[in-house]
Copies of this chain bind each other. A is one copy, B any other.
Amino acid sequence: MVTNLALLGAGRIGKVHAKAIAEDKRAKLVAVADAFADAANAIAETSGCAVRTIDEIEADQSIHAVVICTPTNTHADLIERFARAGKAIFCEKPIDLDVARAAACVEAVKKTGAKVMLGFNRRFDPHFRAVRQAIDDGKIGKVEMVTITSRDPGPPPAEYVKVSGGIFRDMTIHDFDMARFLLGEEVVSVMATASVLVDPKIGELGDYDSASLILTTASGRQCVISNSRRASYGYDQRIEVHGSLGSVSAENQRPVSIEIATKDGYTRPPLHDFFMTRYTAAYAAEISAFIDALEKGTAPSPSAEDGLIALTLADAAVQSVQKGAAVRVSI
């Protein structure tokens, strides 16, 4: 049976998901909705699906699932609405910037029994998955210390910063999820330091552009996260996991991997400079995993709960910076 999907939100990331659906034979994109007709039409034309309203999609019994790519502040409402409508849901992260609202949404979803998957795309990066696989295969023994380096190519515009929820809820949230994906135990404590080193405007908006964090689990496993809103050399995305028998790491990715040697040294090109080219394979794989779960009737992962936990860790980080102390988290 082919899974019929509708896309809510026809922006940049919506297009990526539409393409991924088109390449998966087990699914069919049957409808797209967007406040901007042009955006919806563009995807409809490419993929051969219909432009519909959200109401029409909600009412259409032949649509099994929705992919939510609308603005963040609509996520929780849409998740609840389509959960009640009996559809499976893939939603871009985060559920909401407010942890109480997100928790309420998770609670509401639970009552419906709807399947919800949250778009932590990095879990599907082939390199990071291979790191996790190496851990699962016992290659490095017991996990002890995780190191995540995550730096954006450049700072976001002020308009974005204002609605982003701050660096921890917007940027580090991916790293919180990755930490959980790799630590093998829940985080019980968050220590964070943050400052404004890159762009004073970010500071004027009450946010930070540089942050260092230490997460700890109950048994004492540690995770260090290093974030910056600027990396001249591209989109810096590295993880390393140190264990009792060894270490496994995923290095940065670049579009071309040549090396030029001259009297000035050996030079390789900069990294990917955009998250969508860096994580192309991850975006395709996450939609495939969603379709897979629907087809097999299993619970899609990462779940809405995973989204809520990452947000809780972000809130703890905000508090930790303010208090200059570790903040306990109970998950």
Alpha-carbon gap, A264 to B213, bound state (A): 29
Alpha-carbon gap, A212 to B220, bound state (A): 11
Residues of B within 8 A of A323 (CB): 325
Confirm or deny: A298 has a beta carbon within 8 angstroms of a beta carbon on chain B.
no
Q: A145, B214: Cβ atoms under 8 Å?
A: no
Q: B222, A245: Cβ atoms under 8 Å?
A: no
Q: How extensive is the interface on chain A, given as a class?
A: 35 or more
Confirm or deny: A263 has a beta carbon within 8 angstroms of a beta carbon on chain B.
yes
User: Max chain B CB contacts within 10 Å: which of A129, A219, A259?
Assistant: A259
Number of this chain's copies in the complex: 4
Q: B267, A264: Cβ atoms under 8 Å?
A: yes
Alpha-carbon gap, A131 to B268, bound state (A): 11
- Across the interface, A246 reaches (CB within 8 A) one of B189, B224, B247, B260, namely B260
Q: A260, B228: Cβ atoms under 8 Å?
A: no
Alpha-carbon gap, A324 to B214, bound state (A): 11
CB distance from A49 to the nearest CB of B (A): 15
Confirm or deny: A285 has a beta carbon within 8 angstroms of a beta carbon on chain B.
no
Binding site for B on A (CB under 8 A): 126-127, 129-131, 134, 139-140, 142, 144-145, 147, 149, 151, 189, 191, 193, 195-198, 210-214, 216, 219-224, 226, 228, 230-233, 236, 242, 244-251, 253, 255-270, 323-326
